[in-house]
Chains A and B, each alone.
Chain A
Amino acid sequence: MPRGRRRITPARRRLRPRRPSEQPDGAGGFLPACSAAGSRGENRVRAGISIDPAVKIAGSLGRMTDPAHRFESVPAVRDALAKVDYLADDGIAGVVYLADRLGKPVLIEGPAGTGKTQLAKSVAEMSGARLIRLQCYEGLDESKALYEWNYKKQLLRIQAERKDGATWQEVEDDIFSDDFLLTRPLLEAIRAEDPVVLLIDEVDRVEVETEALLLEILSDYQVSIPELGTVMANQVPLVFLTSNNTRELSEALKRRCLFLHVDYPDLDREREIVLAKVPGITANLADQVARIVRSIRQLELKKPPSVSETLDWARTLLLLGVDQVDAATAVGTANILLKYQSDIAKATKELEQDASLGGEAASGAGAKPWQRNA
């Protein structure tokens, strides 16, 4: 027997006329951009006409309601995030707010360990939604991301039916139904009845070809299954995609998303993060930690310390009972902040150097920041 794909072709061909013909396709991907409200209205209509009585899973489709907005305003988002110990800056809170209002996915990009994944988790926690996570990797395909037919169960069914003497027609109708569908994260997020946050983690790891799988779900919140028809979302879920920027994502994907670049936090925010995330730390120690980390980040390193490493370091210092970080302590525990031997050597050299001997040498890269253009 040939490949699975070819095997299902007759079913697909037979099903096609049953699908509603007036389903708008070209305009669908484009219009939602104009106005969030407009797109939702349109979706509702489409959900209405695309119900196919023969489709078992369609029962829930007609209920695509205009959801009340989750968030009141940008400061409200920030406060709510702060309650679950995620300290967002203006940019982060603003984009999360807009994602809700416009009903668009958010593509989060930035160095490792700056809280990209954590943002999605925190948003889920703060809005009381279930987090559905799709971890991307090279070789991810639609059977792992979207849905898969349960071949073994289908086979059993065929064998069982054969004894009962059912016609081929009946068997075929039966084995391509909801019972034999294994939902994977993307389809699960679309079909969820309860509020969900969908996290597509490290999307830059999949191949360019696989990215295309995501496009339908990101722009229209729907999944087309050839044998079943189109599954529409009951509600517009909040979708977050994270990327470490190891490769350029396709234009098509970027166009469908709001873009958020998360960088290392500034001094004040980092101090707040340390205070919030490390229970029992004194304000003084948190301040010192944040300042030393900032200083280290200014060196030219292979991998500057990330926020998660800052937190690890702060916890270590706390465990060691340090309340005043001096150079010796910093050097002794540098292996927690930095992960490359060359980086550790460099930082050690810089930290131990007497700054008063030569301001130029101590301040790192030579020219002071404000002198560069002058």
Chain B
Amino acid sequence: MPDPTTPPSSNGSNGDGRTAGSNGAAAAGIAAGRHGTHAGSGGAATAGGRPPGDGDEPRRPRTLDEADRRLATIGSGVALTELLSGFIAELRVAGLPVSLTENLDAMAAIQHIPLEDRQAFKYALAATLVKNAAHWRVFETVFEVYFSLRGREYALTDEQAQALADLDELMGEQAQEGDQRGAGGMGDQMTPEELAEMLFKALSQGNEAMLKALARQAVRRYAGMEPGRPVGGTYYLYRTLRNLDLDGVLDRLMQQAREQAPDHLSPLEERLERDEYEARIDQLRKEIEAEIRRRLVADRGVEAMARTLRKPLPEDVDFMHASREEMASLRKAIYPLTRKLAVRLARKRRHGRKGPLDFRSTVRHSLSTGGVPLEPRFRYPRPSKPEIFVVADISGSVAAFARFTLHLVYAISNQFSKVRSFVFIDGIDEITRLFEGTEDIGEAVHRVNTEADVIWVDGHSDYGHAFEVFWQRYGKDVGPKTTILLLGDARNNYHATQSWVVKEMQHRARHVYWLNPEPRSYWDTGDSIIGEYATHCDGVFECRNLRQLERFVDHLV
């Protein structure tokens, strides 16, 4: 039970919505949302148009912020606990490992912060539920869906229309204050030119409240959103952005910056100005996205929206189908993993006390304790330095994976001193030298793609020939310290398999592992001959995402 001395989680405004005599820590203080003056009493769902409290006449908001807040709170009536449990369930579905302890932590945390403070609320949830920075984006998306408006019955009611109109009016007033052109008035009556003008002004001044209002206005006007229309948010986003012509706005902004500068803008200054405006425009775009999302949630309901927006966590992204952005985040995630891989492969056997007693050292150390050998010393086996050979397929069928592979190889070769890497399609070439002496991975990958001599006949993968040549040229370098990693889908285009090479490798090397980027169900179908190679490997692993790669690394112990 919560301590009675715990300060009330929020001030009076949500006191009426609190369930009296709550039956547990979870329910206390978080039931019934944080509606403003307009929401129903007792946490009743108020979907209807009229404010339930007949007596309290809706006060016209005085500032943009206030109007904005009012808009956000209208239509909320669902108990927060319910929403929160739905929210956590959705996080789990999205793949975040939220344990029961963390769930309870979140419940406890939000009792200590004022619920009106949306940012604080968000950070409290994040601190207790998200334990990996890479999961932040998924969390944020789900949070926006669940808490941008609370209440499934949110709809564009009269009341909201009123709020919007207030907002527009305010915008009009602000525009008049800004310059004395006399434009403005109701937002609906503004011409597109006036809207564009206001947008330009807001961007050039960096007026955030104004940008927010404009984003809302733009979505309302240009996105053409209709209830029940089965199109995704990106479509609306595209429509809105196309109408706003942000590239043109950026050019105008730069033009203005150039004109306003006392003398000629130096390249550096110009660059800085551009960065500033780009950041503002990016902000605008985020606002527009948020507004579209909010409207979609209102239309389709929280659960449906959460389902459509669900994105895989970085560790679940399939290498073969990763988008550019996902690839960038993958690259960041690789480094800790390769370090782990390096540690595992080079594992020093220091923890097992398997060595024989080191008599000399024991006696030497007993001197400090008066000749009593308190701490026996052992002669630990010296770990041998492993050599790693990475042999990777970079043909078209695994092109996306190959890109990732090269990054992986590069990262590994930074960790180990003795890494040799080879790439092949139907011919094979050593690329160790291309990775040496360069610190720019992009450049290294580019050099591999242009300089490596991997085509023998026609540029279709031929594992058999590649392996054969590998064995002829480099086979003598493979020794008992060598670990060989083979990367590829083993789709051999019906060429000869030459699996004896892999067999020989296994004989001579310490370990041979094969990482296959294809789903296991596709193995040995069509021209895939992974099964034949697998009989000679120490392990074949499906490796389609980081999670699986990590499992492989764990397996190496």
CB distance B267 to A35 under 8 Å?
no
Chain B, residue nearest A259 (CB): B131
* Stretch touching chain A among B15-23, B36-44, B154-162, B275-283: B275-283
Per the 8 Å Cβ criterion, residues 142-193 of A in contact with B are 151-152, 155, 159
- Does B180 count as interface, using CB distance less than 8 angstroms? no
When distances are taken between beta carbons in the complex, the residues of chain B under 8 Å from A110 are: 133
CA distance A373 to B241 in the complex (A): 11
- Does A134 count as interface, using CB distance less than 8 angstroms? no
- Does B253 count as interface, using CB distance less than 8 angstroms? no
User: Please, how many residues of chain B have a CB less than 8 angstroms from a CB on the other chain?
Assistant: 72
CB distance A102 to B241 under 8 Å?
no
Per the 8 Å Cβ criterion, residues 56-107 of A in contact with B are 73-74, 90-91, 94-95, 97-98, 101-102, 104, 106-107
CB distance A373 to B127 under 8 Å?
no
CB distance B266 to A152 under 8 Å?
no
Per the 8 Å Cβ criterion, residues 224-264 of A in contact with B are 245-248, 251, 254-255, 257-261
* Stretch touching chain A among B209-217, B369-377, B492-500, B514-522: B369-377
Contact A359/B131 with A1-B372, A37-B6, A155-B369 known, Cβ cut-off 8 Å: no
Chain B, residue nearest A352 (CB): B267
- Does A135 count as interface, using CB distance less than 8 angstroms? no
CB 8 Å contact bits of B428-472 with A (1 = contact, 0 = none): 000000000011101000000000000000000000000000000
CB distance A94 to B374 under 8 Å?
no
CA distance A30 to B104 in the complex (A): 10
CB distance B271 to A33 under 8 Å?
no
B373 CB contact (under 8 Å) in A1, A98, A359: A1
CB distance A369 to B117 under 8 Å?
no
- Does A363 count as interface, using CB distance less than 8 angstroms? yes
When distances are taken between beta carbons in the complex, the residues of chain B under 8 Å from A30 are: 101
Contact A291/B120 with A33-B105, A38-B3, A246-B336 known, Cβ cut-off 8 Å: no
CB distance A295 to B369 under 8 Å?
no
CB 8 Å contact bits of A16-55 with B (1 = contact, 0 = none): 0000000000000010011111100100000000000000
CB distance B238 to A374 under 8 Å?
yes
CA distance A354 to B269 in the complex (A): 10
CB distance B274 to A35 under 8 Å?
no
When distances are taken between beta carbons in the complex, the residues of chain A under 8 Å from B507 are: none
A291 CB contact (under 8 Å) in B3, B130, B272, B368: B272
- Does B311 count as interface, using CB distance less than 8 angstroms? no
CB 8 Å contact bits of B45-80 with A (1 = contact, 0 = none): 000000000000000000000000000000000000
- Does A13 count as interface, using CB distance less than 8 angstroms? no
CB distance A369 to B268 under 8 Å?
no
CB distance A95 to B123 under 8 Å?
yes
CA distance A34 to B114 in the complex (A): 19
CB distance B270 to A355 under 8 Å?
yes
Q: How large, as a class, is the contact surface on chain A?
A: 35 or more
- Does A118 count as interface, using CB distance less than 8 angstroms? no
CB distance B108 to A94 under 8 Å?
no
CB of A268, distance to nearest CB on chain B (Å): 10
When distances are taken between beta carbons in the complex, the residues of chain A under 8 Å from B369 are: 151-152, 155
CB distance A37 to B275 under 8 Å?
no
CB distance B268 to A155 under 8 Å?
no
Chain B, residue nearest A357 (CB): B267
CA distance A298 to B278 in the complex (A): 12
CA distance A371 to B102 in the complex (A): 37
Chain A, residue nearest B133 (CB): A261
CB of A286, distance to nearest CB on chain B (Å): 14
CB of B264, distance to nearest CB on chain A (Å): 10
CB distance A33 to B104 under 8 Å?
yes
CB of A295, distance to nearest CB on chain B (Å): 5
When distances are taken between beta carbons in the complex, the residues of chain A under 8 Å from B109 are: 98, 101-102
When distances are taken between beta carbons in the complex, the residues of chain A under 8 Å from B220 are: none
CB distance A327 to B113 under 8 Å?
no
CA distance A141 to B309 in the complex (A): 45
CB distance A259 to B127 under 8 Å?
yes
When distances are taken between beta carbons in the complex, the residues of chain B under 8 Å from A352 are: 267
Chain B, residue nearest A367 (CB): B324
Per the 8 Å Cβ criterion, residues 104-146 of B in contact with A are 104-105, 107-109, 111-114, 117, 119-120, 123-124, 126-128, 130-133, 136
B268 CB contact (under 8 Å) in A101, A258, A292: A292
What are 22 pairs between A and B in contact, CB < 8 Å? A33-B105, A35-B25, A35-B108, A90-B123, A91-B126, A94-B119, A94-B124, A95-B123, A97-B113, A98-B124, A102-B108, A110-B133, A152-B368, A155-B370, A258-B127, A259-B130, A359-B274, A370-B241, A370-B246, A370-B285, A373-B234, A374-B238
With A292-B272, A356-B267 known, 16 other A-B pairs at CB within 8 A are A1-B373, A3-B375, A33-B105, A34-B25, A36-B108, A74-B117, A94-B119, A95-B127, A152-B369, A342-B440, A351-B267, A359-B274, A362-B274, A368-B278, A370-B285, A374-B242
